[in-house]
Amino acid sequence: SQQGEEDPQALSIQEGENATMNCSYKTSINNLQWYRQNSGRGLVHLILIRSNEREKHSGRLRVTLDTSKKSSSLLITASRAADTASYFCATGNDMRFGAGTRLTVKP
Amino acid sequence: DAEITQSPRHKITETGRQVTLACHQTWNHNNMFWYRQDLGHGLRLIHYSYGVHDTNKGEVSDGYSVSRSNTEDLPLTLESAASSQTSVYFCASSELPMGGELFFGEGSRLTVL
């Protein structure tokens, strides 16, 4: 069974728009991580947010964590065509991944 | 630069054959992991190792085995390949045993006919 569940499954936006994807999880966590996967490639770590943090920024990425709702969101601002990829959250000591959100950014 | 490499990148085999997927990392990480990725299931953990001679079962370990004879390598063996094992396999390593940043290989696409 998956620990993290991303929503939506797919998202299509225009270049320059913001993209928001969400992750819900079931059990208590120490941290939550977001990864990106370009088509046909391995996953790449984007950002880690600890359970005692509510928000974290890295460049155009903003991650929030609400442990009371067991949810996290990843916001990509001013999206670019190169942001087209699948995005996954991973939680728990056993690093369970969801099925991912497939983001398409149209030029 | 440190890296993690998988081989082969693509393999086609027949049902019942033994298959070994190689994973080699130069990060000097003690912790290594094997996942499989299937549409609609995300990544599922197969086996993991916290160090030399240590191996542990993950969520979907049936039909798979691993061995860890050194820090750099964690080969994944399918003892008798089944069509249900057609998938993309990813190896990863981490500085931390669990909950740490994972560094992934590029994946091995296995087709079992």
pLDDT score of B40 more than 80: no
Average pLDDT estimate for B29-42: 91
Structure confidence at residue B60 (pLDDT):
94
- Tracing tokens 């079931």 back to the chain, one arrives at A26
* Minimal CA separation from A89 to chain B, in Å: 10
Structure confidence at residue A41 (pLDDT):
93
- Closest B-chain CA to A101: B42
Q: Do B98 and A95 touch (CB under 8 A)?
A: yes
All residues of chain A having their beta carbon less than 8 Å from the beta carbon of residue B43 are 43, 88, 97
Per-residue pLDDT of chain A (107 residues), as tens digits, is: 446 788 899 999 999 999 999 999 988 888 999 999 999 999 999 999 999 999 999 999 999 999 999 999 999 999 999 999 999 999 876 778 888 999 999 99
Chain A residues with a Cβ under 8 Å from any Cβ in chain B: 1-2, 4, 30-31, 33, 35, 40-45, 48, 88, 90, 92-100
Q: What is the pLDDT of residues B42-83, one digit of tens each?
A: 899 999 999 999 999 999 999 999 999 999 999 999 999 999
Q: Check: CB of residue A96 under 8 Å from CB of residue A90.
A: yes
DSSP A6-74: EE-SEEEEETTS-EEEEEE-SS--SEEEEEEE-TTS-EEEEEEEETT-SEEEETTEEEEEETTTTEEEE
* Minimal CA separation from B86 to chain A, in Å: 16
Structure confidence at residue A3 (pLDDT):
63
Structure confidence at residue B57 (pLDDT):
95
Structure confidence at residue A1 (pLDDT):
46
Structure confidence at residue B27 (pLDDT):
94
Q: Do A94 and B58 touch (CB under 8 A)?
A: yes
